[in-house]
Structure 1
């Protein structure tokens, strides 16, 4: 029995994508015997290029079921089935990641129609689903939507099965997940590592630090290094002699410590992380009509941004969210280039700042509210997060808009005197990387963090 499926996602960083739509057809080798098709609320923003590609936007998904609400149905329809997909490694990884977030070990055998097509229909100019089905005369409607792509994959799979009359090629192509083995010398290192958040240091035989990283589960991350097949993992496996660590409790503290330690120690295998970890910033200026404009630009050494981003794509995604939340104008946020009114004005979702119709002060008040929320320039504040155990909290200190350092305090002692608090922290550099880490982390975790002015 086969579960032929297609998944559309939000796009974004590897293993941080969310499912926006899923279609599954249960196929017995002759006919479809069951099906499941649904939009899914990914509980995160969709990347703009994905919206353009699929036509699925955040509004469409507002009332869609969340993944945990459809998870049981997915388990049932794929039970005792081989998962079939066009580039199955992608769809299977996405599914496993979503189930992992729920704490459920989702495991199935898989079959990839890209690999099968290359074996059974060689010398095709392209093996992308669109071009391949077109060349084979298979009808494909709703390209880049889960249902349309899944139906086309069903038809393609039927054709492939007919070409493999003895079913030997298909049987040989079925993949079963195999757990990578760890060398016994590396197992001994892993045994004593914690499953908690912190910074880890990988040392060679001479005791030198060759790699520094951070993780929300140190033991799991080191295990990944020791079983990985990429070039960095292989170098670590060849050189590692011991691993030391420092628990932080807070991911923010771990990120800041990792950045500082890499700059200080310059480990052999951290070359890529020595460079700045952000590339774009959000800047403001006032136009000739008095409206505050926002622009995403390449990070500038001379101008301080409101907030920073690792790439333009994440910056644009964030601005699309801010546009809706603060009712801002597409034109004045740089998201649409036009000499007249913006698109949203035409559908009555912009109040007319783009054509000087909205009151300048009213518009600027909303922009200022956004800036105040996401910039800590000239502010004195404490960012309070998890500690290393239940009896303490971590604190990151911002004074006059500058990052001063971080530390931990016992919950039994309420720190109200700034001078006492500053004496408890470890001073750290107020460099651009640390500013970016703090702004990005606060932006993503604002609802959970406690931010106290002082």
Structure 2
């Protein structure tokens, strides 16, 4: 559990600042569950430059509650929470100082969204909240007011949670949560989970992730883990202390996140998922007569398949379909063992490449079209799918024919802005598993939207 915090102060000497406004959003990693926003009478004058910056003046605060009147509410809403603030050292210091003057020791763990941003979104020209939010396409209202800045910090933190592929933030949160460490029953864990698409993380008592999975119904899938009687399921049931999750909306995003994060985090009970997702590939080569031929073979360490398949049956069906669709030759593609021409030549479905009656140039034009069907549609494109909320969509970025990563964007955001898109994207490895997942998903899901992008101009 997190408490997203922003404080406005009077300004002045170190440890003598008074709080003029405070905003706290209690956030469970998915949605805001509680909030507290209030002006505060600091019982001291506000520095003139602060008045100009925030618009908060002394007259506005005369009837506002004093800090001791809101202190209890602050303690309650931040209980069992990690405080998250942009420049957390400042906000936490000011808050602790106010409580110290009341004779109360206020202690919370903190996370600084500035430091997290530097780590997870490197090389930004500025990490001030306003400039960083603008560069990431995060809308900010009421800048330099506690509520507006806290909301911007919340949106930034949501993005940082997605970008944290090592799950350090998530593990620290589970470790910090006393509620989850009091060994809740398995049924209680299931009750708190959504029946939606996403990736889930099973934690042990130290907060460490011991299993990562994906599902179109997280609640149902965890219930299966907890009711299964296999040796691995029983071991997980014995160790589990908490289950966290990330809703993705899109099954494609869930598949890509699961694959990437298993490789990165190496959970103990994901041993069987560390191997490749596929065994067979579609390959091409040019034979001695100059014809492009397609064939199915097992994946080899240095092989470069056009596309990949889970089973030989799926692979051969695809090759048969390609051969028929593009009027290719069964014999050249290894689907016929005829000694002379293939059977399709007899029924006029083959132009005779198998007996050299068709020129390689003419045949290869159709073969190239068949190959392109199993390449990415554009060298620079975004695959758009469902988002986590109604007004959101997910995005998979392909740049120069290479898978770059995944992200989410609001429907008000211009998806063809490559500069912003590159920043909100969580970068992922362009490995064979990811390519297989993307190609298989697009092949099977006909409703997926694909948008061609213009590459960023090289100014060098």
Q: Same fold (TM over 0.5)?
A: yes
* TM-score range relative to shorter protein: 0.5 to 0.7
Structure ID, larger Rg: 2
SS of 1:382's equivalent? strand
- State the 1:328 CA deviation: 2.3
Aligned to 1:266: 266
Question: 2:244 maps to which residue?
Answer: 244
- 2:368 — aligned with what? 368
* Superposed displacement of residue 229, structure 1: 2.8
Matched residue, 2:193: 193
Structure 2: distance between partners of 1:367 and 1:227? 50
**Structure 1 residue 224 displacement after superposition:** 1.4
Query: Which structure 2 residues correspond to residues 296-335 of structure 1 after superposition, within 5 A?
Result: 296-335=296-335
Secondary structure at the residue paired with 2:321? Answer: helix
Distance 1:318 1:421 in 2: 34
Unaligned runs of 5+ in 2: 1-183, 454-460
Q: Residue 378 of structure 1: CA displacement?
A: 8.1
> SS of the residue aligned with 1:269?
helix
| Residue 421 of structure 1 pairs with residue 417 of structure 2 | no
Tell me the CA shift for residue 402 of structure 1: 1.1
Say whether residues 1:451 and 2:450 are aligned partners.
yes
Moved more, 356-365 or 243-252: 356-365
CA–CA distance in structure 1, aligned partners of residues 385 and 322 of structure 2: 25
Equivalences for 1:2-151 in 2 at 5 Å? Answer: none
CA apart distance, 1:448: 1.1
Query: SS at the partner of 2:429?
Result: coil
Mapped to 2, the partners of 1:208 and 1:267 lie a distance apart of 9
1:377 Cα deviation after fit: 9.1
SS of match in other structure, 2:358 = coil
Q: Aligned equivalents of 1:226 and 1:325: distance in 2?
A: 47
The answer (yes or no) to whether the contact 2:249–2:389 under 8 Å persists in 1 is yes
The 4+ residue runs of structure 1 with deviation greater than 4 A are none
Aligned CA distance change for structure 1 residues 214 and 239 (closer, same or farther; 3 Å): same
Q: CA deviation at 1:237?
A: 2.1
The alignment partner of 1:305 has SS state of: coil
Task: Give distance in 2, aligned partners of 1:357 and 1:233.
Answer: 61
Secondary structure, aligned partner of 1:270:
helix
Structure 1 runs not aligned, ≥5 long: 1-183
Question: Which residue in the other structure is 2:280 paired with?
Answer: 280
Contact in 1 for aligned 2:328/2:350 (Cα 8 Å): yes
Q: Give TM-score scaled by structure 1 length.
A: 0.56
Q: 1:340 to 1:420 in 2, by over 3 A?
A: same
Alpha-carbon separation, structure 2, partners of 1:239 and 1:426: 30
Q: Relative to 1, partners in 2 of residues 1:332 and 1:390: Cα closer, same or farther, differing over 3 Å? A: farther
Query: 1:338 deviation in Å?
Result: 3.4
What does residue 96 of structure 2 align with? none
Does the 8 Å contact 1:342/1:354 carry over to 2?
yes
Aligned equivalent of 1:69: none
* 1:357 CA displacement: 2.5
Alignment correspondent of 1:355: 355
Whole-angstrom distance in 2 between the partners of 1:364 and 1:254: 38
User: What residue in structure 2 maps to residue 343 of structure 1?
Assistant: 343
Contact 1:377 1:400 survives alignment (8 Å) = no
Give CA-to-partner distance per residue, 1:27-85, whole Å, 9 cap, x none: xxxxxxxxxxxxxxxxxxxxxxxxxxxxxxxxxxxxxxxxxxxxxxxxxxxxxxxxxxx
User: CA shift at 1:339, angstroms?
Assistant: 3.1
Q: Secondary structure at the match of 1:379?
A: coil
Once the 2 structures are TM-superposed, how far is the Cα of residue 427 of structure 1 from its aligned partner? 1.0
- Alpha carbons 1:377, 1:402 under 8 Å: kept: no
Q: CA deviation at 1:222?
A: 1.0
**SS of equivalent residue, structure 1 residue 294:** strand
| 1:114 matched residue in structure 2 | none
Following TM superposition, by how much is the alpha carbon of 1:302 offset from its aligned partner in structure 2, in angstroms?
A: 3.0
Find the residue that maps to 2:393 and give its secondary structure.
Answer: strand
CA distance in 2, matches of 1:350, 1:229: 55
Contact 1:211 1:267 in 2 (8 A): yes
Q: Let me know the Cα RMSD of the aligned residues.
A: 2.0
| CA distance, structure 2, for counterparts of residue 373 and residue 412 of structure 1 | 32
Residue 390 of structure 1 aligns with which residue?
A: 390
Cα distance in 2, alignment partners of residues 188 and 336 from structure 1: 59
Given the superposition, is the C-alpha separation of residues 318 and 232 from structure 1 closer, same or farther in structure 2, using an over 3 Å criterion?
Answer: farther
8 Å contact from structure 2 (residues 378, 452) kept in 1: no
1:322 Cα deviation from its structure 2 partner: 2.1
| Deviation digits for residues 339-375 of structure 1 (CA, Å, limit 9, x no counterpart) | 3222333344333222222343443222211211211
Report the Cα distance in structure 1 between the residues aligned to 2:300 and 2:432, rounded to whole angstroms.
11
Please show how residues 152-171 of structure 1 align to structure 2 within 5 Å.
none
With the length of structure 2 as denominator, give the TM-score of the two structures.
Answer: 0.56
Cα distance in 2 for residues equivalent to 1:206 and 1:450: 42
Q: CA deviation at 1:417?
A: 2.2
For residues 262 and 380 of structure 1, the distance between their equivalents in structure 2, rounded to whole angstroms, comes to 27
Deviations 1:212-251 (A, max 9, x none): 1001111111111122233332222222221110011111
Match for residue 55 of structure 1? none
Alpha-carbon distance in 1 for matches of 2:403, 2:428 = 7
